[in-house]
Structure 1
Amino acid sequence: MTTIPFLNQHSSQPNSNGPFAHGTSKINGPSSLELGGAEDHNSKPGGYSITCILFTGLIAVIAVFVLIACLVNSVHRVNEGNVGVYFRSGALLDSLAGPGLHTALPFITTMMEVVVRPETTYLDPLTCTTSDGVTNIFRNVQVICSVDQSKLRYLITNYGNDMKKVLVYDRVAEAVQAFCANSSIDEVYNSKFLEIEGFVKEMVTEKIKVLADEAITVLNLFIPKPDIPPMIAQNYREVKIEWTKKLVAEEKKKIEKIKKETEIQTALLEAEKAKQVSEILTMQEIKRAEGLDKIADIDNERRRKIGQTDSDISTFTALSDAAVNKELLTDQFIKLQLTKALMNNTKMYFSGQDSAVGGLINTVLGGVFSGN
């Protein structure tokens, strides 16, 4: 506020060298000296003129806007996975900023974010020509790569802000063209298609190693099948249809062969099963016969033992009877039994004493009667 009286003091003098005398006289009309007594009406009680107050307010507004612009320009944010790189008057600075809020000198320092984490990029269509002169177009080629943060300044210094394009994307296009130039359309589209990714990745990695000391790492590469001329594509479709028919015929043959082999295997299994069943039944019959034989042997043995026992009993009885009969077999017992037998006969015929019967009777009875 000390400058205001100074400005006011100079503005009241008619000297053209004053800071506001010449300008205010033309813009705001006559000076305070020309107005004479009007100075009291255009001034505030403190002695400050309206011109000074307006000019001071304008300066303050401009200062506020400048301050806001400086703050807006100096404060910036770095997202996660990125690194902030600073340029001052176009020159690359050594300092790098990680994720978060940061400040820099306004208007003379600019910040650029560089993605250092793995990033997927879809390349523009790649056109290449095979060794037999057929043009192919590879679309939607995908590259996943990451940047070594410690070598970021080296990359920007040597290859600029588009270092990925220079070191990776352009080298992928170069490697695809190299593969196509050394291969036929059939190899590119069919027989060697699966080798393209490995070839391109190996070549790009080697180029990065030579050019940038492995500052960028290619993590993955995806190359879809190329677009080929319609006539060649139609021929491939027809070949594929015939190849499919051939596969179907071969599969049918394999299926028929498998069916026949299955039937043979089934018949063999059934025969083996019948054989095993027959063997089992035969073994069962043998076991049953052996069981019956054992039962018969046991029964015969039992019968033999019973017969032997009966025979022993009969023998013992006979021997016992014989011993008893031997004791009973005396002349008197015999004569008594004979007499009993003769007494049961009502008639007896014999021819005298000289006959066999008569002699026997005479002998037996004679002895009996003579005994009496």
Structure 2
Amino acid sequence: MAFVAITTMILVPASFSSVNSSLSIIHQVPEGHVGVYWRGGALLKTITELGFHLKMPLITQFEPIQVALPTNQVKNIPCGTKDRVMISFEKIEVVNRLRMELLYVTLLNHGVQYDKTWIYDKIRHEINQFCSAQSLRQVYIEMFDQIDEKMKDAIQVDCTHYALGIEILSVCVIKPTIPASINHNFEQMEEERTKVLIAMERQMIAEKEAETQKKIVLAEGNRKRYVYGS
């Protein structure tokens, strides 16, 4: 029985569950991750790289932490605009990484679920703050191309101040879903706006052609006066 128990502790994959993680002796750190360890509930400063490693069963717990540019997808974020229109952001992607020199401090202060507080919850809060201060037209059309950068800066400010090792590399905000009736009105407005821009462009071209023709006539008149001396 002792042999079976020892064999089980050696061979049980550490990734099955937290129970298996505490029982196993051999564990694997997958690609793009590092291994971190707890003993008696206390986070150790030991950090292991890719590959197989040994640890003390039952006493030491292991957790793989992704450090190779994880992408967090925050989905279905409802929010209300300043003009009281409810919209929903289907998906926002946040690419981040943990700075290795601050990994221990980040996990010590915020745990392995650090991204729930500083990315998932934070992005929801910032999107709602942004929407509540803008009209639907500003959010959906006029300022939409600025939201990515605004979200990135807002999250990074707090991550730098509180979370230390979390670096926000990019944020990608997918166009929000708006009420169908309002969307139809926006489409009509954009269609009319496009027509106006086309008309203005044609008018500018006509004015330039008229100006060019005027210059040609003037130049021709000057040439004749020079040739005939009149």
**Shared fold (TM-score, shorter chain, > 0.5):** yes
Q: How many angstroms apart in 1 are the aligned matches of 2:223 and 2:29?
A: 80
- Contact 1:70/1:107, CA 8 A, preserved across alignment: no
Q: Summarize deviations over 1:140-189 as a string: whole Å, max 9, x none.
A: 21111111223323322332221012112211111111111111112211
Q: Which residue of 1 aligns with 2:204?
A: 254
Deviation at 1:64, TM superposition (A): 4.4
Q: Which residue of 2 aligns with 1:217?
A: 167
Q: How many angstroms apart in 2 are the aligned matches of 1:122 and 1:268?
A: 65
Q: Pick from 56, 60, 66: which aligns with 2:5?
A: 66
Q: 1:272 to 1:125 in 2, by over 3 A?
A: farther
SS state at 2:126 partner: helix
Task: Give, as a single letter, the amino acid of the residue that structure 2 aligns with 1:66.
Answer: A
Which sections of structure 2, spanning at least 5 residues, go unmatched? 12-23
Report which stretch shifted further, 160-169 or 263-272: 263-272
Q: Summarize deviations over 1:222-246 as a string: whole Å, max 9, x none.
A: 2132111111111111111111111
Deviation at 1:219, TM superposition (A): 1.1
Q: 1:274 to 1:110 in 2, by over 3 A?
A: farther
- Contact 1:126/1:139, CA 8 A, preserved across alignment: yes
Task: Give, as a single letter, the amino acid of the residue that structure 1 aligns with 2:117.
Answer: V
Q: Does 1:182 find its partner at 2:133?
A: yes
Q: Does 1:115 find its partner at 2:66?
A: yes
Task: Give, as a single letter, the amino acid of the residue that structure 2 aligns with 1:133.
Answer: R
Q: How many residues align?
A: 217
Q: 1:267 to 1:95 in 2, by over 3 A?
A: same
Q: How many angstroms apart in 2 are the aligned matches of 1:94 and 1:154?
A: 9
Q: Does 1:155 find its partner at 2:106?
A: yes
Structure that is richer in strand per residue: 2
Q: Which has the higher contact order (CA 8 A, sep 6+)?
A: 2
Task: Give, as a single letter, the amino acid of the residue that structure 1 aligns with 2:142.
Answer: S
Q: Summarize deviations over 1:70-117 as a string: whole Å, max 9, x none.
A: 322212222343210112354432311122221111344331111123
Q: How many angstroms apart in 2 are the aligned matches of 1:250 and 1:155?
A: 56
Q: 1:98 to 1:275 in 2, by over 3 A?
A: farther
- Contact 1:116/1:147, CA 8 A, preserved across alignment: yes
Identity percentage of aligned residues: 28
Task: Give, as a single letter, the amino acid of the residue that structure 2 aligns with 1:235.
Answer: N
SS state at 2:4 partner: helix
Q: Pick from 116, 124, 127: which aligns with 1:173?
A: 124
Q: Pick from 119, 143, 147: which aligns with 1:196?
A: 147
Q: How many angstroms apart in 2 are the aligned matches of 1:179 and 1:193?
A: 11
Q: Which residue of 1 aligns with 2:43?
A: 92
Q: Pick from 207, 214, 222: which aligns with 1:264?
A: 214
Task: Give, as a single letter, the amino acid of the residue that structure 2 aligns with 1:203.
Answer: A
Task: Give, as a single letter, the amino acid of the residue that structure 2 aligns with 1:81.
Answer: G
Q: Pick from 53, 61, 64: which aligns with 1:102?
A: 53
Aligned pairs for 1:1-372 within 5 A: 62-72=1-11, 73-212=24-163, 214-268=164-218, 270=220, 278=227
Bigger Cα Rg = 1
Which sections of structure 1, spanning at least 5 residues, go unmatched? 1-61, 283-372
SS state at 1:161 partner: coil
TM-score by length of 2: 0.82
Structure that is richer in helix per residue: 1
SS state at 1:255 partner: helix
Report which stretch shifted further, 171-180 or 261-270: 261-270
Q: Summarize deviations over 1:311-363 as a string: whole Å, max 9, x none.
A: xxxxxxxxxxxxxxxxxxxxxxxxxxxxxxxxxxxxxxxxxxxxxxxxxxxxx
TM-score by length of 1: 0.53
